[in-house]
Amino acid sequence: MTWRNVTPTGNRGNIEPLPRLTSLEVCAGAGGLALGLEQAGFDPVLVIDNRPIACETLRVNRPDWDVREMDLLDFDPAEDRQVYDVDLLAGGLPRVKSPATAARKRSDDPELDVLKAAVDLIYGVQPRAVWFENVPELARKDDYESVRATVAAELDHLGYRFCWHVLNAKDYGVPQSREVGLLVAFKGDLIDRFVWPEPHEQPFRSVGETLGESMGARGWRDAAKWAAQADVVAPTIVGGSWDRGGPDLGPTGAKSKWARIGVDGVTVADEVPDAEFEWNPAVGRSGLVPLTVEQVAMLQGFPSQWRIAGRKTARYRQVGNATPPPLARAVGAAIAAVLRSTAERPTGVIGR
């Protein structure tokens, strides 16, 4: 644990230093999880991703972070001992498929291999807490029971107690309905102090409220009209496969939801509409407004100053597959509260 002196604005007296915590982040992608954890009080000792473009995004935004371009399966903590005993091991892991589906389609399952490697990493790192994010089905569907059982057996063996849960990002200030599956674990009995973050009390922020100003940046006359009718949260944004296809806003059902608020979900634009754009959903796609990568990033909860590296499709993939930073901050703050509640590290571990 490290410490940083922070004095709130307007407080002229002396205060106790605010504890900063350490983290190791794997499968970091565009940095949504790492950014949210930073806001919650975690400083990464190492950030890992296997995609060069994602590592470029991380370095552009946080040049002081130690960003490592490598496959998680090849990472050996013995060669980077600064990761030993970090406060938190966290990762937004690739979407694990149902074991039955994976068995039908192929003999191997690289996403499941990454999950197992992440769990195996706990042994080498011995973090005080663990947080992995994945598809909501992993946390609640019977199809994934064998996967959860495998994870449970390893965590039990290592002396971590844990819980699975599903949260929706829209409950934490993200203008998008996005359910995520979460695994949180603590060494010893610290999980008894853990409480999932409460949803925000304020009303959901709509697509129109979030994007209205940006839609009018090039003089589009109907920007305010469009924003007024886009009074719902966005459907789940899907980053799509890195191996095929261009950028779009998700499967057919999602595209239909986008169309109902006047958005073309089949493509992603280079720029917001100009003054001459004719918005007329009745005529089909030509009358719908497409979103830019920057606007999609806003719907994921990224701040405007967070830059995404690469060409359009690669940028969209990074944004669409990211953990929304406000959600990461909320869960990270709940984990940090537990870790800060004890000045001493656990001296022993117990089973689940």
DSSP secondary structure of 163-191: EEEEEEGGGGT-SB--EEEEEEEEETTGG
3-state secondary structure of 97: coil
Alpha carbon distances (Å) from 351 to 88, 92, 187, 231, 344:
19, 25, 9, 48, 20
Residue-range domain boundaries for the chain = 19-201+321-340, 207-320
Q: In whole angstroms, give the CA distance from residue 250 to residue 299.
A: 14
Task: State how beta strands 263-269 and 179-187 pair.
Answer: unpaired
Q: State the pLDDT at residue 251.
A: 86
Identity of the amino acid at 242: W
Q: Which CATH number fits domain 19-201+321-340: 3.40.718.10, 3.40.50.150, 1.10.1740.10, 3.40.50.2300?
A: 3.40.50.150
The residues, ordered by sequence, that sit 6+ positions from 240 with a Cβ below 8 Å of its Cβ are 247, 248, 316, 317, 320
How high is the pLDDT of residue 14? 55
CA–CA dist 214, 91 (Å, integer): 31
Per-residue pLDDT at 247: 80
* pLDDT at position 350: 35
At which residue do the structure tokens 């064998």 appear? 146
Residue 17, pLDDT score: 63
One-letter identity of residue 182: L
Sequential pLDDT tens for the chain (352 residues): 443 333 334 444 555 666 899 999 999 999 999 999 999 999 999 999 999 999 999 999 999 999 999 999 999 999 999 999 999 999 999 989 877 665 545 546 899 999 999 999 999 999 999 999 999 999 999 999 999 999 999 999 999 999 999 999 999 999 999 999 999 999 999 999 999 999 998 878 999 999 999 999 999 999 999 999 999 999 999 887 777 777 888 888 889 999 999 999 999 999 999 999 999 999 999 999 999 999 999 999 999 999 999 999 999 999 999 999 999 999 999 999 999 997 544 444 433 3
Print the SS3 string covering 17-84: CEEEEEEEEECCCCCHHHHHHHHCCEEEEEEEECCHHHHHHHHHHCCCCCEEECCHHHCCHHHCHHHC
The strand ranges marked E within the chain are: 2-4, 18-26, 42-49, 67-69, 88-92, 129-134, 160-168, 179-187, 263-269, 289-292
Taking the C-alpha atoms of residue 11 and residue 9, their distance in angstroms, rounded to an integer, is 6
Interatomic CA distance for residues 176 and 232, integer angstroms: 9
Closest CA to 294 of 213, 226, 221: 213
Predicted TM-score of the model (pTM): 0.90
Residue pair 60/47 in contact by the 8 Å Cβ criterion: no
